[in-house]
Structure 1
Amino acid sequence: RGSLVVVNGPAGFHQGMPEERNLMTPPQSADVVDENLSLSGCSKPWIEPTFTLAARVRVIITICFFLIAASSNSVVLYSITRKRRKSHVRLLILSLTVADLLVTFMVMPLDAVWNMTVQWYAGDLPCKLLNFLKLFAMYSATLVLVVISLDRHSAILHPFAFANSSRRNRLMLCIAWGMSLLLASPQLFLFHLHTVPGVNFTQCVTHGSFQEHWEEITYNMFTFTTLYVAPLSIMIVCYIRIIWEINKQLKISLARSKNDHISKARMKTLKMTVVIVASFVICWTPYYLLGLWYWFQPDMIQRIPEYINHSLFLFGLLHTCTDPVIYGLYTPSFREDMKACLRGIETVIMGQERNKLLSSSEMNIKDYIINGGAASGASNGTIIHTVC
């Protein structure tokens, strides 16, 4: 019995993140609803949640992020696939772009629609499947960053193993995508539909999937560790060792009056990956810390304004929009492809406007000939010449 905890509403990528106040609770109360209130005839009525102002702002910003991330990552995908020069880094950026597109098309639309509908209308199977795809998209984006960090670590510390890098990266990417599927699969069994007793309100929740509270906490911590703590630890260790090796090679270079131990292209790629990983850490750390706080102190949701939860989640989504920008800053060919796409779009728009002008001109000439073209031959020729 106890209380009905609505876990993983639109706010969370995975089971256990702090839910929204517009899901199953009154706007001014905590996110925990006691089932006994609806069954014992308690005088305190259950108030159906609404689409709040903060949630509306969140939806608008999410739609803007969706348009930016979809267009920019699509251009990156086009730029990478059209390159003829083979590079093992190209496959890594391609995988990262696909992972970002998964987050864009799986997480953002679902989050926006779920906030607007407040409750769940899509049925039990979409409830399970969509929450699985959300977590799968987030795992894939994180684990691909781990693979990129390991690749840069190998490129700097073991530069003579370049011949096996492509094969190694393919293997690591296969493991990353396979682990994403495996680690996200519990969502298919945890999520289900639940209707509030005595109220026509249905939500997609994990209520009842855990027998004991410690089981829920254990799963939450496992997800938090595999999705954030472990990948972040691996990335930090990789880049600390990279920085240590670069400093050591710089000292050797100064002693020998040479500076060609690390190529400029390799250093440029290293800088790009460092910035991408840093943006991931900066964007997602506040929201994960909020979730960690919530798991151990659920009452904290009463003490923070609603817009803070929305803002931290949106700040995390911003990472999907920053990857194409970072890639563009460090890749001249991508900037050229972006300009070519913009020129192509401009050409299409100008062509459509030109066709509209020509069609309207033809209509004016036909109307003139039908209605009054015979009245004056001289003026007719003048007008036709002017219109053309």
Structure 2
Amino acid sequence: IPTNQSQNVPAPSFTVAARCRVAATLVLFVFAACSNLSVLISVCWGRGYRLAAHLRPLIASLASADLVMTFVVMPLDAIWNITVQWYAGDMMCKLLCFLKLFAMHSAAFILVVVSLDRYRAILHPLDSLDAGLRNRRMLLVAWTLSLLLASPQLFIFRAIKADGVDFTQCVTHGSFRYLWQETAYNMFHFVTLYVFPLLVMTFCYTCILTKINRQMHKSKDGEHCLRRNGTDKIPKARIKTLKMTIVIVSSFVICWTPYYLLGIWYWFQPAMIQHTPEYVHHILFIFGNLNTCCDPVIYSFYTASFRADLTDVLACCRGRRINNASPRSVDRLSGGSARAPVEMESDLSSNQHSGNPA
């Protein structure tokens, strides 16, 4: 969250560390855009549509939130570092700062919804009949809260030209009468962006793991308790989805915790920015944005349907290259391509029997 620029700090410039930050941001942007778009397309129109009906909106919303982060936060950060000062005017200053905070809130709140869905699915499996409607309502609340909590950005940010120099910046200068007010505003968003989601997710997964541990101890013959059959047992497909969501939540915590801790330190001790190496700020922000790239990778690792869609795309691209190749090269590759349909069919049949996340 950009902070007040009223402290006496040197004028910003496009340093070597900032150039490295821009280069890394562009790499993350390309990967996050391609991977999250692939997840969204797979869930909406590909094999991912075979997922349980109550899971599809969750995965699609998570990919959408990551795409908002990708197409708003990353380009804004890269361009702002390149231009150093603000050239887009007052209206774009307000709008883009609003969209930035909206993207960060939506990404955090969607993870909260996913955690609550897993909590209900494991601890209250009989309520799964209305899981689709419940998830849609929670998603609506998550997106609406993101809009409401980000709306103050439209009023406190503005493009201000510095006195005596030709330098304009998008800042909150003049929006708060006292420093403690701005600190309170930043702390409020720290709670809604990080502390509240972390507490909810910790509660949900602590309860889930406690129940799983209790069920494993109930096993009389020492075998693993998590089977499809039997009473009071958790289906394997549900456990598979639980593992995926735990890893996704863990990546969120690991990627963003250093960035927020640095922010807290700065809010209470603004002078520390003069004693902290510049590259530290850049590295922590890049590390936080890495979370948008982790989600689709984790999803592909746990979801066979998404991997099958990627295999189809690669096979299609490879088939086009073969069609455009010379007849001699086609003959040379014919031995391997003849086996492709059989292998594809066996992969699909194995995916159908492996059990999609539920």
Q: Which has the larger radius of gyration?
A: 1
- Structure 1 residues 199, 246: CA separation in 2 closer, same or farther (over 3 Å shift)? same
Counterpart position of 1:70: 33
Deviation of 1:345 (Å): 3.4
Counterpart position of 2:24: 61
Deviation of 1:33 (Å): 2.6
- Is 1:194 equivalent to 2:160 in the alignment? yes
Deviation of 1:211 (Å): 1.1
Counterpart position of 1:33: 8
- Structure 1 residues 241, 127: CA separation in 2 closer, same or farther (over 3 Å shift)? same
Deviation of 1:256 (Å): 9.8
- Equivalent position SS for 2:86: coil
CA deviations 1:102-158 (Å, max 9, x no partner) are: 000000011100000000000100000001001101100000000000000111100
> Which of residues 86, 90, 103 is equivalent to 1:120?
86
- Structure 1 residues 262, 353: CA separation in 2 closer, same or farther (over 3 Å shift)? same
Counterpart position of 1:345: 317
Counterpart position of 1:87: 53
**8 Å Cα contact 1:157/1:242 also seen in 2:** yes
Deviation of 1:353 (Å): 7.4
Counterpart position of 2:351: none
- Is 1:105 equivalent to 2:75 in the alignment? no
- Is 1:318 equivalent to 2:283 in the alignment? no
Alignment of 1:327-366 (within 5 A): 327-348=299-320
- Equivalent position SS for 1:204: strand
Determine the C-alpha separation between the residues in 1 that align with 2:322 and 2:70: 30
Counterpart position of 2:281: 309
Question: 5+ residue gaps in structure 1?
Answer: 1-13, 25-30, 35-46, 355-388
- Is 1:158 equivalent to 2:158 in the alignment? no
- Structure 1 residues 121, 92: CA separation in 2 closer, same or farther (over 3 Å shift)? same
Deviation of 1:350 (Å): 5.9
Counterpart position of 2:192: 226
Aligned residue-pair number: 317
**8 Å Cα contact 1:194/1:204 also seen in 2:** yes
CA deviations 1:315-368 (Å, max 9, x no partner) are: 0000000100000000011111112122333445666777xxxxxxxxxxxxxx
**8 Å Cα contact 1:15/1:220 also seen in 2:** no
**8 Å Cα contact 2:112/2:200 also seen in 1:** yes
Determine the C-alpha separation between the residues in 1 that align with 2:161 and 2:226: 67
Alignment of 1:176-255 (within 5 A): 176-254=142-220
Counterpart position of 1:292: 264
Determine the C-alpha separation between the residues in 1 that align with 2:152 and 2:322: 51
- Structure 1 residues 181, 160: CA separation in 2 closer, same or farther (over 3 Å shift)? same
Determine the C-alpha separation between the residues in 1 that align with 2:238 and 2:91: 47
- Equivalent position SS for 1:243: helix
**8 Å Cα contact 1:128/1:191 also seen in 2:** yes
Determine the C-alpha separation between the residues in 2 that align with 1:117 and 1:351: 46
Deviation of 1:212 (Å): 1.4
Give the counterpart letter for 1:100 in structure 2: D
**8 Å Cα contact 1:217/1:295 also seen in 2:** yes
- Equivalent position SS for 1:194: strand
Determine the C-alpha separation between the residues in 1 that align with 2:98 and 2:303: 34
CA deviations 1:247-275 (Å, max 9, x no partner) are: 11222233797643011000000000000
Deviation of 1:78 (Å): 1.1
**8 Å Cα contact 2:69/2:292 also seen in 1:** yes
CA deviations 1:192-238 (Å, max 9, x no partner) are: 01111000000000000001112111111111001100110110011
- Equivalent position SS for 2:176: coil
RMSD of aligned residue pairs (Cα, Å): 1.9
- Equivalent position SS for 1:50: coil
**8 Å Cα contact 2:226/2:236 also seen in 1:** no
- Is 1:268 equivalent to 2:240 in the alignment? yes
- Is 1:49 equivalent to 2:24 in the alignment? no
